């Protein structure tokens, strides 16, 4: 049988260097492909449907997430880094500021998004009940859509389910991006009724989690998060002074699930062994800094003297904190969907000791990370002590961490995969000409996409 996949060459192109000049689009393109030869099985002539070129990509943040380096969370961090690298992307958010250095034309601010956040029990209400409200909130976004656009929704299943119809009616595509495993029942109710054109997960662990809950999801891809090498880079000072007391660093939300108390207990064990070390804890109870919680007060009340709490740290300051440390500890006791602090530390050349949970083993697979069982204080203390007492081991793991980051975890690596996935949504499929043959055959549709699972 003729191989139709080789009968033509897909023309994939992305408008990645065109600035967003205004609220309207500049253009979109339609490309046709040469007709392939008839199938030897059914003798039906095949043709390739026209393909739209990706035009604008609108990244929709949750209603509580401002596009801000100081006030935004992990999702705003992800979207902001993509906007900085690709001017054909726009962040849709409840509010924005200049802290990321992103042009105003790349931020579509919709203050009414906060209205959704004030609807009590919204996750227990069928999405179709709230759909008119959601569509009204995003009226400005929907009015801008043209064929070739993509609406890329982050962590809000009800947004995807509510906007699917209007998005597709404009000839645009809908991408859904899972960043965590929160509220499977709510997400399942939304996605059993509506199918995104593509679903993306930040780790294969998260993909497997969601496929157990929503096995109907199609066209799934795994794309790991990245870190910005302009913010997170190795120190120019080289190896640390041999007389300096090694510094263990923790970065993250001060929540019991993040396991800060496990690290503090491991430091206490190291102290009883006579191992000299300093532990610095960077973070607060929520992004952007917040008041102390009972858990935070308990940590401060019972911690050893060589544990320092530095509070919330802005992104532009966080890199320096990493470079002042000798190793990172990520002692999570829950299933981390990814664990971006690990790759930020690796970008700065830090060896990492982390829990064997969630998506973290996928980061460790490329070197520079020592995995330990979650919540096991003696094992964590042993792993940290080996690094503290062996500068050569620290140096070896530091080199592995840096090489792994550069090859696998920069935002440019992630962006290239996103672009390939986006382009594949508008690739043509081979179709049988109407009236040529009603018989069945083995002709295959042309489907492609890097990273598809």
Total residue length of the chain: 453
Residue 447 domain-assigned (yes or no): no
Closest C-alpha among 182, 149, 142 to residue 163: 142
**pLDDT value of position 25:** 45
**Are residue 419 and residue 297 in the same domain, yes or no?**
no
Whichever domain contains 282, its CATH number is: 3.40.50.2000
**Are residue 252 and residue 211 in the same domain, yes or no?**
no
Which residues fall within 8 angstroms of residue 9, CB to CB, at 6 or more apart? none
**Are residue 43 and residue 12 in the same domain, yes or no?**
yes
Is residue 338 within 8 Å of residue 202, measured between CB atoms?
yes
**pLDDT value of position 117:** 83
Query: How does strand 430-432 pair with strand 46-48?
Result: antiparallel
**pLDDT value of position 45:** 43
**Are residue 80 and residue 51 in the same domain, yes or no?**
yes
Q: Which domain holds residue 131?
A: 4-226+413-432
What is the spatial distance between Cα 349 and Cα 339, in angstroms, rounded to a whole number? 17
Could you read off the pLDDT of 164-185 as tens digits, one per residue? 999 999 999 999 999 999 999 9
pTM metric for this prediction: 0.83
**Are residue 163 and residue 276 in the same domain, yes or no?**
no
Can you list the residues of the chain whose pLDDT is less than 70? 1-52, 237-242, 287-290, 428-453
Q: Which two tokens stand for residue 226?
A: 């990245």
**Are residue 201 and residue 260 in the same domain, yes or no?**
no
Phi, psi of 222 (to 5 degrees): -110, 120
**Are residue 292 and residue 327 in the same domain, yes or no?**
yes
The CA distances from residue 45 to 8, 434, 438, 447, in Å, are 14, 9, 12, 19
Residue 221 domain-assigned (yes or no): yes
**pLDDT value of position 312:** 87
What is the spatial distance between Cα 188 and Cα 208, in angstroms, rounded to a whole number? 14
Is residue 37 within 8 Å of residue 2, measured between CB atoms?
yes
Residue 357 domain-assigned (yes or no): yes
**Are residue 394 and residue 333 in the same domain, yes or no?**
yes
Phi, psi of 46 (to 5 degrees): -115, 150
**Are residue 357 and residue 284 in the same domain, yes or no?**
yes
Residue 325 domain-assigned (yes or no): yes
Angle at alpha carbon of residue 294, lines to 292 and 300, rounded to 5°: 70
Residue 444 domain-assigned (yes or no): no
Residue 446 domain-assigned (yes or no): no
Is residue 199 within 8 Å of residue 178, measured between CB atoms?
yes
Residue 440 domain-assigned (yes or no): no
**pLDDT value of position 31:** 37
Q: From the CA atom positions of the chain, what is the Rg in Å?
A: 25
Could you read off the pLDDT of 195-251 as tens digits, one per residue? 999 999 999 999 999 999 999 999 999 999 999 999 999 987 655 566 789 999 999
**Are residue 262 and residue 365 in the same domain, yes or no?**
yes
The CA distances from residue 115 to 24, 119, 122, 256, 286, in Å, are 26, 7, 11, 30, 21
**pLDDT value of position 243:** 77
Closest C-alpha among 147, 152, 174, 167 to residue 29: 147
Closest C-alpha among 348, 367, 316 to residue 236: 348
Q: Give me the DSSP letters along 198-261.
A: EEEESSHHHHHHHHHH-TT--SEEE----B-TTTS---TT-SPPTTSPPEEEEES--SGGGTHH
Residue 327 domain-assigned (yes or no): yes
The CA distances from residue 125 to 119, 131, 196, 376, in Å, are 10, 10, 20, 40
**pLDDT value of position 8:** 30
In the chain, the number of structural domains is 2
CA 338 to chain centre: 8
Residue 271, CB-side half-sphere exposure with 13 Å CA sphere: 13
Phi, psi of 204 (to 5 degrees): -70, -30
Q: Which two tokens stand for residue 397?
A: 């793991």
**Are residue 267 and residue 208 in the same domain, yes or no?**
no
**Are residue 164 and residue 281 in the same domain, yes or no?**
no
């Amino acid at each position: 049988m003729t191989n139709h996949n080789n009968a033509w060459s897909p023309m994939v192109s992305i408008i990645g260097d065109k600035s967003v000049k205004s609220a309207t689009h500049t253009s979109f393109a339609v490309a046709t492909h040469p007709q392939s030869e008839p199938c030897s099985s059914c003798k039906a002539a095949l043709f390739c449907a026209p393909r739209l070129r990706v035009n604008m990509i609108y990244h929709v943040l949750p209603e509580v997430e401002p596009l801000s380096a100081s006030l935004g969370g992990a999702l705003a961090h992800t979207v902001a880094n993509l906007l900085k690298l690709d001017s054909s992307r726009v962040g849709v958010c409840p509010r924005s500021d200049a802290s990321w250095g992103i042009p105003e034309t790349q931020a579509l601010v919709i203050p009414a998004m906060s209205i959704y956040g004030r609807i009590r029990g919204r996750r227990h209400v069928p999405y179709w009940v709230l759909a008119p409200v959601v569509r009204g909130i995003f009226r400005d976004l929907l009015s801008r859509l043209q064929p070739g656009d993509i609406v890329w929704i982050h962590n809000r299943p009800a947004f995807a389910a509510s906007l699917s119809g209007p998005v597709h009616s404009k000839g645009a595509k809908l991408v859904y991006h899972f960043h965590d495993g929160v509220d499977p029942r709510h997400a399942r109710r939304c996605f059993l009724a509506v199918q995104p054109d593509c679903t993306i997960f930040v780790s294969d662990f998260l993909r497997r989690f969601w496929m157990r809950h929503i096995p109907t999801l199609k066209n799934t891809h795994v794309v790991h998060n990245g870190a910005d090498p302009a913010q997170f880079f190795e120190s120019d000072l080289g190896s640390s002074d041999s007389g300096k007391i090694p510094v263990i660093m923790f970065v993250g939300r001060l929540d019991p699930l993040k396991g800060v108390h496990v690290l503090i207990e491991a430091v206490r064990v190291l102290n009883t062994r006579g191992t000299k070390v300093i532990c610095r804890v960077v973070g607060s109870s929520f992004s952007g800094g917040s008041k102390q919680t009972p858990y935070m007060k308990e940590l401060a009340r019972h911690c050893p003297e060589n544990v320092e709490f530095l509070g919330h740290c802005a992104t532009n300051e966080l890199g320096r904190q990493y470079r002042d440390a000798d190793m990172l500890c990520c002692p999570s006791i829950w299933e981390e969907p990814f664990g971006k602090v690990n790759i930020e530390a690796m970008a700065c050349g830090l060896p990492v000791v982390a829990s064997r949970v969630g998506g973290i083993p996928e980061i460790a697979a490329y070197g520079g990370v020592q995995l330990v069982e979650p919540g096991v204080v003696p094992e964590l203390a042993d792993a940290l002590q080996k690094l503290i007492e062996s500068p050569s081991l620290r140096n070896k793991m530091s080199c592995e961490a840096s090489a792994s980051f550069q090859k696998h975890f920069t935002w440019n690596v992630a962006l290239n995969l996103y672009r390939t996935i986006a382009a594949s949504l508008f690739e043509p499929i081979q179709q049988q000409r109407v009236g040529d043959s009603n018989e069945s055959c083995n002709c295959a549709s042309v489907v492609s996409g890097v990273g598809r699972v």
